[in-house]
Amino acid sequence: MSEILSWGPAWLFPVLALFGGLWLLIKSSDVFVEGASGIARHLGISPIVIGMVIVGFGTSAPELVVSAFSALEGKPVLALGNAFGSNIANIALILGITSLVIPIQVHSNILRRELPLLTAVTLVALAVIADGSLSRLDGILLICVFLVAMSWTVWISFKRPQDELLKTLAVDPALPPSNVQKSLGQLLVGMLVLLVSSRGLVWGAVELATMAGVSELIIGLTVVAIGTSLPELASTLMAVRKGEHDMAIGNVVGSNLFNTLAVVGIAGTIHPFGLEPEILQRDFPFMLLLTVSLFIFGWGRKGKGRINRIEGGLLLLSFLIYTGLLIRSVLGS
């Protein structure tokens, strides 16, 4: 670890690229979502679909673009660390902090169906990577499962338009017509900055990992994962402050479904790779444990799921312990 202590000018640009890229990534994803929502409203797309698909995609866009660039750069382990680390941060850090502030209630029947779906999807991902590798066929399979899961969710939403979750997710149809030129500009600028900032973030992360002698997996699981999860943190806290508890958990469930299937699937399709042993021995089991815990807390009894302050404290404590294990692995290397 002597390399970490020898800070010098060589560290400056990677640090700026990493944290500057994270900041631009978050800002540009907001612009991208606003532009996409405006165009969708202009085309007459259902407010429910806009809320569930476009806005949901926007909060996961940072993970998707960062992981795609990581795979294109030949750094797929960073992509996997970003996806799994974001899932861990979403449940343990984001829901942990949020439920400590205000206990979260679960009323939505759709959400209570998506909680077991997320658990099942996580087990599917485990079956796919259990052989210690992620092939192109594995990646395509995960993407197909993602498309099926999203189609099922949208179909269910149309069958139950009065569900509590949909009331909070649906974009107000009474909003004035969007300016198409402005929305298109926001969409294009947002996507362009997403791409550029992601490229800078990946470069900075890889450079820092190389200089510090830390594996790309650790960088992906910590700095990159927490950074790309900031949109979910902001939207979850905002939802709880407005009393929209189902939306708060819906953000996390939707993001984790997206990360587990689409983000990992795209990374594997672009660049098949072998997994580091720590992923199957440490990271995935912890992510699975958190997912099952979220299912148990959120499902509840007699349709009254919730995450109280004690459970939120346990989630946050588990995140601190996990992060401590990661730091210990770095210091011991």
If you ran DSSP here, which 8-state letter would residue 202 be given? Answer: H
Contact at 8 Å (CB) between 98 and 313? no
Across 77-86, 196-205, 264-273, least confident range:
196-205
Q: Which two tokens stand for residue 312?
A: 């939120």
CA-based nearest residue to 98, from 307, 324, 256: 307
CA-based nearest residue to 326, from 96, 6, 92: 92
- pTM comes to 0.81
* Alpha carbon distance 39, 180 (integer Å): 6
| Interval 38-54: pLDDT, tens | 776 676 665 555 655 66
Q: What is the CA radius of gyration of the chain?
A: 19
27 CB neighbour count, 10 Å cutoff = 15
* Residue 4 clears pLDDT 50, i.e. is over it: no
* Alpha carbon distance 268, 240 (integer Å): 35
* Alpha carbon distance 32, 286 (integer Å): 32
Across 78-87, 218-227, 241-250, least confident range:
241-250
Instruction: Give the three-state DSSP class for 105.
Output: strand
Question: What is the pLDDT, as a whole number, of residue 160?
Answer: 64
Contact at 8 Å (CB) between 90 and 234? no
* Alpha carbon distance 301, 295 (integer Å): 12
What are the extents of the domains in the chain? 2-9+76-169+203-331
Fold of 2-9+76-169+203-331: A middle domain of Talin 1 (1.20.1420)
> What is the maximum alpha-carbon separation in the chain?
60
Contact at 8 Å (CB) between 92 and 315? yes
**What backbone torsions phi and psi does residue 56 show, to the nearest 5 degrees?**
-60, -40
* Alpha carbon distance 225, 81 (integer Å): 7
Would you place residue 18 in the very low, low, confident or very high pLDDT band (cuts 50, 70, 90)? confident
| Interval 103-119: pLDDT, tens | 888 776 766 777 888 99
CA-based nearest residue to 63, from 245, 237, 315, 252: 252
Summary mean pLDDT of the chain: 79
Query: Which contiguous run of DSSP H or E holds residue 307?
Result: strand 305-307
State the angle between helix axes of 136-159 and 109-129 in degrees (0 to 180), rounded to the nearest 10. Answer: 170
- Which segments of 16-64 are extended strands (E)? none
**What backbone torsions phi and psi does residue 306 show, to the nearest 5 degrees?**
-165, 160
Question: What is the pLDDT, as a whole number, of residue 155?
Answer: 79
**Burial category of 306 from C-beta neighbours within 10 Å (exposed 0-12, middle 13-18, buried 19 and up):** middle
